[in-house]
């Protein structure tokens, strides 16, 4: 049996709900932590089946139709087994979602660095040498360019207007018209993309670094021309993904093709440079923001236009305006987005797609408006919070931005701050503070999970859901323990295998809430079975400390089970709730920085983030996610930029030596306050996503603090020392 639930509203469906007294929400350490620290957790590339061969991807040096010049010579090298140049290989990682097949075919290169061949050898050194010696020619003269390459794609241009923006803007007492740019970025996850494929003549088994296994299984089957039941994907541990591992990647398809052709296991691991060049990046953006307000700082008009890019034929367009649509009230609104087709690696989802760059620039513009209007930045935001979603009139499922702003302000010590910049100096360092709101859409995804209550009173949770370092193993154990009245130590959790029920996958911050709710539903099915055995209404059953109690009837679980296991299968669907209300998560971030008047260097001295993201399932893992997002916001503001050569589009800084992510010395103490707020519109758990919220607004808090410190307003990100120094000069 399967207990299915569709979230259509906040009504109580008769399910048990967490009462706040069990293990759910506790500050528990991650159950997979010790294995990772000690090296016992096996990642994709660490699988070494007998007879394994090694594959190395070879990539195009230019654009257009490609030709392998000396493939026969390479094949003749001792130890080389095959050179593959197969039409079923893929040109770039898939965006992922609903099992859609990625764009296939590598006979022509759409961007410099596109994988076009695979060299397979008996050892890794030979494979590397042979791949380096394989000569690839590309004839850019015959490149099948998009009809509107370099211009906005009319099919991807969107406009949304409310009221009369032009009139409101021209008549406003206070106006702002600024343009911000953000560079391309990459996920730069610690674990490189990797795959080990095995073919037994009937079924393909792939160990991969992948986030969305149910989709990845469908994508891989489509590429290979196999039925889905002939493909098994395993990914129990992932060393970060941040969107780059949402869809099937070139290494997975190439390894699978080689394994099926050669009849041997094949491993393909992307080098760090390949990780930067082959997989999806965040698009660069150009954003024009126009704000109009009355003398009291109440917004009368909001205009936000964004231009992004992607490869020809790719459907993804970064939703830059996603947060702008509902964060602040204004009767007159103009939102415009457009996508330009260019020949660079495909753009896709990178952590918090849309808000990461859209909220960052918009919140910096709000700081500029506060300065123009002479109003405290916190107060400006408080005066413009909407009662309902602007434009649609939909109610919010919950709205805690005001509490985040005020509690964060008090916790940071904002009051008493001089509004004027360049008021505090310590030696060569200008000291300043800044703040920003943080918002992120909340989404729910289809998800399934199975729970088995064993005769000895333990429980097993199973799903193909992944854990990309966010704490899925731990949280699902807590959920099952809460529902069944057990200790988290009595719960075993198995994840990352497509032979298990299909979870939501890790993407869009949907994992903990969606698959976690499926776990709760599976436990609810078990609870109902126990209630039936005890001749008790499910609503009157309580389970705690390994006992089931109904009225005066209290039994040890083992006695209720009588030597037989009980299984529950939970299945969640989003339902109509997402259309009835605006679901979002909220936050406020405050930062203090020091800016050198000599070098232009910015040092972040402290940050405080207050966040509301539904019911907090684990204080420790949620806090860690918020801190990780804040650190990412620091990188977005100060260091991160993927640079492409304008002549041919190749990535210039394609490794961690030149693409600068924040390191330990860059990140100060990150104080995080979590506001627990179960959202009844989010299902029986009341939980919402938190993994991407922390990045939204953190960068703008730092940019605003830079301006307050030294008077320099950086609108072309990141705020590197040369740009700050130019402003100081």
Q: Which of 680, 163, 677 is nearest to 395 (CA)?
A: 680
The DSSP result for 665-724, as a single string, is GG---EEEEEE----GGG-TT-B---TTGGGTTHHHHHHHHHHHHHS----BSS--HHHH
**Residue 528: which H helix or E strand, with range?**
helix 511-533
| Bridge-based pairing state of the strands 332-341 and 425-426 | unpaired
CA angle, residues 619, 622, 625, in degrees to nearest 5? 150
**CA-CA distance, 482 to 22, in Å (whole number)?**
5
- Cα–Cα distance, 306 to 181 (Å, whole number): 9
Residue 510's CB is within 10 A of a number of other CB atoms, namely 23
DSSP-based three-state secondary structure for 384: coil
Q: Which strands make up the sheet holding 332-341, listed edge to edge?
A: 158-162, 332-341, 299-310, 285-293, 174-182
- Residue holding tokens 């991650």? 30
292/398 Cα distance (integer angstroms)? 27
Q: Is residue 363 flagged as an active site residue?
A: no
Q: What are the backbone dihedrals phi and psi of residue 513, each rounded to the nearest 5 degrees, phi first?
A: -75, -40
Report the distance separating Cα 453 and Cα 571, nearest Å. 18
Beta strands at 231-234 and 204-208: parallel, antiparallel or unpaired: parallel
Task: Exactly one of 314, 338, 355, 692 is catalytic; name it.
Answer: 692
| Sole residue written with tokens 């990178």 | 350
Distance CA 199, CA 589 (A): 50
Q: Which of 390, 439, 419 is nearest to 588 (CA)?
A: 439
In degrees rounded to 5, what are phi and psi of residue 307?
-120, 130
Question: How far apart are the C-alpha atoms of 578 and 583, rounded to whole Å?
Answer: 7
Q: What is the largest CA-CA distance in the chain?
A: 84
Walk across the sheet containing 547-550 and list its strands. Answer: 542-544, 547-550, 553-556
Compute the distance between CA of residue 200 and CA of residue 259 in angstroms, rounded to an integer: 9
Distance CA 209, CA 194 (A): 6
Distance CA 196, CA 255 (A): 7
Contact (CB, 8 A) for 85 and 134: no
Among 453, 310, 435, smallest CA distance to 699 is for 435
CA-wise closest residue to 107 among 81, 142, 133: 142
For residue 46, give both structure tokens: 């660490």
Give catalytic residues, as residue numbers: 692
């Amino acid at each position: 049996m399967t207990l299915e639930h569709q979230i259509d509203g906040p009504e109580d469906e008769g399910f048990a709900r967490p009462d706040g007294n069990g293990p759910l929400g506790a500050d528990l350490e991650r159950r997979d932590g010790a294995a990772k620290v000690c090296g016992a957790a096996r990642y994709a590339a660490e699988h070494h089946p007998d007879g394994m061969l090694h594959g190395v991807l070879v990539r195009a040096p230019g654009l257009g139709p490609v030709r392998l010049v000396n493939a026969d010579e390479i094949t003749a090298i001792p130890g080389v087994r095959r050179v593959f140049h197969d039409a079923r290989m893929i040109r770039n990682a898939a965006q992922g979602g609903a099992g859609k097949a990625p764009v296939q075919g590598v006979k022509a290169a759409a961007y410099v660095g596109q994988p076009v061949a695979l060299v397979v050898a008996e050892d890794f050194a030979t494979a590397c040498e042979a791949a380096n010696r394989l000569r690839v020619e590309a004839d850019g003269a015959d490149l099948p360019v998009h009809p509107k390459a370099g211009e906005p794609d009319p099919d991807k241009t969107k406009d949304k207007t409310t009221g009369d923006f032009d009139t409101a803007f021209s008549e406003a007492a206070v106006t702002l018209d600024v343009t911000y740019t953000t560079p391309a970025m990459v996920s730069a996850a610690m674990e490189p993309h990797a795959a080990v494929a095995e073919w037994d003549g009937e079924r393909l088994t792939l160990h991969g670094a992948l986030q969305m296994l149910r989709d990845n299984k469908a994508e891989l089957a489509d590429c290979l021309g196999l039925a889905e039941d002939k493909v098994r994907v395993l990914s129990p541990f992932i060393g970060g993904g941040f969107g780059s591992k949402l869809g099937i990647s070139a290494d997975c398809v190439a390894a699978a093709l080689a394994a099926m052709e050669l009849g041997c296991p094949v491993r393909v691991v992307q080098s760090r440079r390949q990780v930067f060049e082959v997989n999806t990046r965040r698009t660069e953006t150009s954003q024009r923001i126009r704000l109009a307000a009355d003398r009291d700082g109440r917004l009368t008009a909001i205009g936000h236009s964004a231009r992004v890019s992607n490869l020809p034929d790719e459907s993804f367009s970064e939703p830059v305006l996603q947060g702008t649509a509902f964060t602040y009230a204004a009767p007159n609104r103009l939102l415009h987005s457009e996508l330009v087709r260019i020949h660079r690696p495909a753009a896709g989802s990178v952590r918090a797609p849309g808000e990461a760059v859209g909220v960052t620039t918009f919140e910096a513009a709000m700081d500029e408006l506060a300065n123009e209007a002479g109003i405290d930045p916190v107060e400006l935001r408080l005066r413009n919070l909407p009662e309902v979603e602007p434009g649609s009139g939909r109610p919010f499922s919950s709205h805690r931005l005001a509490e985040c702003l005020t509690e964060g302000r008090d916790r940071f010590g904002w009051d008493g701050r001089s509004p004027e910049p360049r008021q505090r100096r310590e030696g060569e360092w200008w000291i300043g503070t800044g703040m920003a709101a943080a918002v992120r859409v909340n989404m729910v995804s289809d998800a399934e999970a199975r729970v088995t209550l064993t005769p000895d009173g333990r429980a097993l949770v199973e799903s193909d859901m992944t854990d990309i370092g966010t704490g899925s193993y731990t949280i699902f154990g807590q959920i099952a323990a809460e529902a069944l009245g057990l200790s988290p130590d009595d719960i075993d959790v198995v994840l990352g295998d497509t032979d298990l029920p299909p979870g939501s996958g890790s993407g869009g911050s949907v994992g903990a809430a969606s698959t976690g709710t499926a776990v709760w539903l599976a436990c609810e099915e078990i609870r109902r079975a126990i209630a039936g055995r005890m001749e008790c209404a499910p609503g009157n059953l309580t389970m705690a400390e390994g006992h089931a109690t109904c009225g005066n009837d209290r039994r040890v679980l083992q006695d209720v089970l009588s030597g037989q296991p009980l299984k529950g299968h939970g299945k969640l669907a989003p339902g109509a709730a997402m259309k009835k209300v605006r679901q979002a998560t909220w936050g406020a971030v405050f930062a203090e920085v020091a800016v050198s008047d000599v070098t232009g260097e910015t040092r972040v001295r402290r940050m405080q983030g207050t966040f509301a993201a539904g019911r907090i399932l684990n204080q420790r893992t949620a806090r860690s996610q918020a801190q990780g997002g804040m650190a990412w916001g620091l990188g977005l503001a100060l260091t991160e930029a993927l640079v492409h050569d304008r002549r041919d589009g190749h990535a210039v800084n394609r490794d961690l030596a030149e693409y600068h992510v924040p390191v330990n010395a860059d990140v100060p103490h990150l104080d995080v306050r979590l506001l627990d707020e179960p959202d009844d519109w989010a299902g029986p758990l009341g939980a919402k996503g938190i993994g991407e919220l922390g990045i939204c607004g953190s960068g703008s808090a730092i940019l605003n603090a830079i301006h307050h410190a030294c008077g320099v307003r950086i609108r072309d990100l990141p705020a590197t020392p040369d740009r700050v120094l130019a402003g100081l000069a």
